[in-house]
């Protein structure tokens, strides 16, 4: 950033050459640091802490999308953000949240109560209520039954 701002290079020639090479991929516009992409617009460079908040919002936020690390990273880039370790951070972040633990009882009271509630809280398991299932009203079952009936008649 200092190099782009005022052209300051390290004294070591090798480090200076490497820095100048890397700096070609970045841009400084009105004090905001951007990374240039090959097929993407300028990406605003953010610090890792902000990046982790962004990954959390994409992965588990309002429109939660429990996607893979690569997909989550690409969504962050489409939002216009970049940080150097974003690929590794996205991969690590999604591995940590791979399984969403949720129990959906069929309105049974056997897995409710004190010990179970404590266990759910300890393990971070969410308990969701479900409606009574009526497989006969399921459109897929009806469609398969129709195909079977037709095949049996022939």
Partners of residue 34 on adjacent β-strands: 27, 44
| Greatest mean pLDDT among 85-89, 129-133, 143-147 | 85-89
Partners of residue 127 on adjacent β-strands: 103
| pLDDT class of 152 with cuts at 50, 70, 90 | confident
Span 13-40, pLDDT tens digits? 999 999 888 888 888 888 888 998 777 7
Looking at residue 49, its pLDDT comes to 92
- If we measure between CA atoms, which residue out of 91, 89, 94 comes closest to residue 65? 94
Looking at residue 17, its pLDDT comes to 92
Span 78-105, pLDDT tens digits? 888 999 999 999 888 888 774 556 666 5
Give per-residue burial for 133-151: e unless 16+ CB within 10 Å, then b: eeeeeeeeeeeeeeeeeee
| pLDDT class of 117 with cuts at 50, 70, 90 | confident
Domains of the chain as residue ranges with CATH: 2-96 (1.10.340.70), 102-153 (no CATH)
Q: Which long-range contacts (CB under 8 A, 24 or more apart) does 69-74 make?
A: 69/93, 69/94, 69/95
């Amino acid at each position: 950033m200092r190099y782009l701002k005022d052209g300051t290079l390290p004294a070591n020639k090798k480090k200076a050459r490497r820095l100048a090479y890397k700096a070609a991929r970045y841009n400084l516009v009105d004090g905001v640091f951007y990374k240039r992409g090959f097929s993407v617009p300028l990406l605003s460079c953010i610090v890792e802490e902000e990046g982790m908040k962004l990954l959390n919002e994409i992965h588990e936020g309002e429109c939660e999308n429990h996607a893979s690390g690569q997909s989550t990273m690409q969504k962050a880039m489409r939002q216009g953000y970049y940080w150097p370790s974003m690929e590794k951070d996205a991969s690590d972040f999604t591995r940590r949240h791979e399984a969403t633990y949720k129990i959906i009882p069929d309105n049974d009271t056997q897995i409710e109560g004190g010990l179970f509630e404590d266990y759910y809280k300890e393990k971070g398991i969410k308990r969701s209520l479900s409606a009574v299932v009526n497989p006969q009203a399921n459109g897929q079952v009806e469609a398969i039954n129709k195909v079977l009936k037709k095949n049996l008649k022939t």
